[in-house]
Structure 1
Amino acid sequence: MSDTPPIRNVSDTALWVAIYRATESERPDALFHDPYARRLGGARGEAIVKAMPNGRSMAWPLVVRVAVMDEILLRCVAAGAATVLNLAAGLDARPYRLALPATLRWLHVDMPEMVDYFRGQMAQETPRCRLEFIAADLRDAQRRREVFAQAASEGPVLVITEGLLIYLEADDVAALARDLHDTANARWWLTDLASPALLRFVANNWGRAVQQGNAPFRFGPREGTAFFAPYGWREAEFRSTWDEAWRLDRKPAAAWLWRVLSWFRPRRKVEAGRRMSSIVLLESAAPSA
């Protein structure tokens, strides 16, 4: 690790986050249980966590993200989602670890090498639902639309893009949003969303490591979820990562000091802080004129 960057490419971030899921799962008060995470993250994932600046202490927002997405996902399934389209799925073991109906169709989509690695690691495990693996480079517009049309064949469709959008350019996110609405005919879209303030924050903490690994953070729209409106999406639910960290008791060590300081800040700045990082559920709507 001393001779190479902690992160070699975007796919390495899945190993990194898997170790955070493993560490949380091993707590006596765990918010979720992922018994596969340590195996999936492996030695490389552990090395990344150790090499990243503040690698251990910065786990809390990613742990919160997993827990909140689990909650919203299960609620959407209960509300009638028939297909889950999980894009850049990485090492997401939700089809194995969550109490999902056997009839649910889950499409695990990622680059071929990531799909091969995940399938190899999980070969002896049995998913809870109808799990299908799709190897696809989503940057290829034709291939992307083929995958989305395949998803649309059994709706309603719930899309998950956990940890994906932040690595994309705004134009790429716009194209993805349009195709999810028009081709996948998705009803719901569950994602995490950064802000410009978050991009500045992570650049100061992890910027060099992710830049060297060809995985820079890019997407954090100033307009928040309004960015998606022209492509047929509206905000159905907003969860502030900060608020959820307090609710779930996974806040950072200095959280109490930040809260005290917030009492003396203008309300607009406090609200901007709440929306710095979020988990959002978008719903399909008619595109704006």
Structure 2
Amino acid sequence: MLTPRFPRRCMKQHWQWTNAPSTAPIKLQPPASIHRRMTMSLQAYPIRNVSDTAHWVAIYRAMESERPDALFSDPLARRLGGKRGEAIVKALPRGSVLSWAMTVRTVLLDEMVMRCIRNGVATVLNLAAGLDARPYRLDLPSSLRWLHVDMPDMIDYFREHTRAATPRCSLELVTADLRDAEARKQLLARAAEFGPVVVISEGLLVYLSSEQVADLARDLHTMACAKWWLFDLASPQLLKFTPQRWNRILLAGQAPFLFAPPEGTDFFLPHGWREAEFHSTWEASWRLQRTMSGAWLWKLLSRLQSPARREVMRRMSGCVMLENIVNPSLTA
């Protein structure tokens, strides 16, 4: 991944010559403004790559866990998020205020994971797992097999920062680049050894192109022995509401929001998956009492909309459970 570019004025001259006599040894002296300029640059470009978003979301989980009325407890979240995660939250416009959406997403996926386990899942395949500490905080059976998959640097960081903690299931940390077709094939074959499997791709699909998501969907359908697939899904309407400054920060870190299919979960039908559950972020935010700022006004205005328009808004963002279709030709 490329590192963020500093503003041009920071690149001109990093050091100044001292006004020493020609016979004196040459000394290099950093200008007083360099540290301030570099700090400003980090504030402008806090996200260096997609992996940094895991630190960002971990801080949101820490913020929820530290509330007196917390919906979940993630004692590892603050440590995992670290200074990088805190810097991202501070740099984003209204960054801390928007924690409600990540809290709702976390709770919805927690609930779906536990339902799948109660329905007989033997293996959890967590793709681009980042800093997800569910194996440490959920009430999981010790017999459950959990594959925590990510890039090598992220796996190393996660291992180091969870070394003193004990997972509640059989946790395997797996390094794999999901963009590599052969590596993906080997990973899915490994997951399929102990089925049935539920796949989690929380916070992943929005950073992929439609073609990449379609490839992943087909592979999960045919290779992973996956019964269910859980993820968060954005709509084109949600991307339109994303603040422009957020877009600039995400683009600078090569992490722009991409995947938001107009057809919603129907996108996955030709690839062997159909919707089993859809949970609206908006509706769940009221149930969980984690609504966004000004939610009451949006709710009032929605009463003036047509039923079709209200449904579009309801599905603007949500968490999905897809089920594997044994014969995808049935959907043709």
TM-score range relative to shorter protein: over 0.9
Is the aligned partner of 1:238 residue 2:278?
yes
What is the correspondence of 1:239-278 to structure 2 with a 5 Å cutoff?
239-278=279-318
CA distance in 2, matches of 1:147, 1:271: 38
Q: Map residues 93-172 of structure 1 onto 2, 5 A cutoff.
A: 93-172=133-212
Matched, 1:14 2:58: no
CA offsets 1:193-249 (integer angstroms, 9 cap, x no match): 000111121253511110111100000000100000111101000100000001100
TM, length-normalised to structure 1? 0.98
**Shift of the alpha carbon at 1:57?**
1.0
- Matched positions, count: 289
Q: Which runs of 4+ in 1 moved over 4 A?
A: none
The letter for the 1-side match of 2:209 is E
Could you tell me which residue of structure 2 aligns to residue 76 of structure 1? 116
Where structure 2 has 5 or more consecutive residues not aligned to the other structure, the ranges are: 1-38
Cα deviation digits, residues 159-183 of structure 1 (max 9, x gap) = 0000000000000000000000101
Cα distance in 1 for residues equivalent to 2:72 and 2:49: 27
2:235 matches 1:198: no
Whole-angstrom distance in 1 between the partners of 2:244 and 2:291:
20
Match among 64, 68, 81 for residue 28 of structure 1: 68
2:328 aligns to what? 287
Describe the SS at the equivalent of 1:3. helix
TM-score between both structures, scaled by the size of structure 2: 0.86
1:2 is aligned to 2:40:
yes
Give 2:81's aligned residue.
Answer: 41
Q: Deviations over 1:16-47 (max 9, x none)?
A: 00000000000111111000000000111101
RMSD: 0.9
Alignment partner of 1:89 is 2:134: no
- 1-structure distance, mates of 2:317, 2:105: 10
Q: Where does residue 63 of structure 1 map in the other structure?
A: 103
Amino acid at match of 2:149: V
User: What SS does the corresponding residue of 2:321 show, helix, strand or coil?
Assistant: strand
In structure 1, distance between residues paired with 2:40 and 2:111: 39
**What do the CA deviations read for 1:240-278 (whole angstroms, capped 9, x no partner)?**
000000110000120000000111122211111110001
Paired with 1:226 and 1:264, the residues of 2 have a C-alpha distance of 28
Partner residue, 2:9: none
> Is the partner of 2:154 in helix, strand or coil?
helix
- Partner SS for 1:283: strand
Structure 1 Cα separation of the partners of residues 57 and 135 of structure 2: 17
* Structure 2 Cα separation of the partners of residues 96 and 183 of structure 1: 28
Residues 120 and 93 from structure 1, CA distance in 2 versus in 1: closer, same or farther, beyond 3 angstroms?
A: same
AA matched with 2:68 = P
Give distance in 2, aligned partners of 1:160 and 1:248. 22
- In the TM superposition, residue 62 of structure 1 has moved relative to its aligned partner by 0.8
Give the corresponding residue for 2:229: 189
Q: Amino acid of the residue matched to residue 63 of structure 1?
A: T
- Say which structure, 1 or 2, has more relative contact order (CA 8 Å, 6+ apart): 1
Structure showing greater Rg: 2
Give the corresponding residue for 1:209.
249
Secondary structure of 2:165's aligned partner: coil
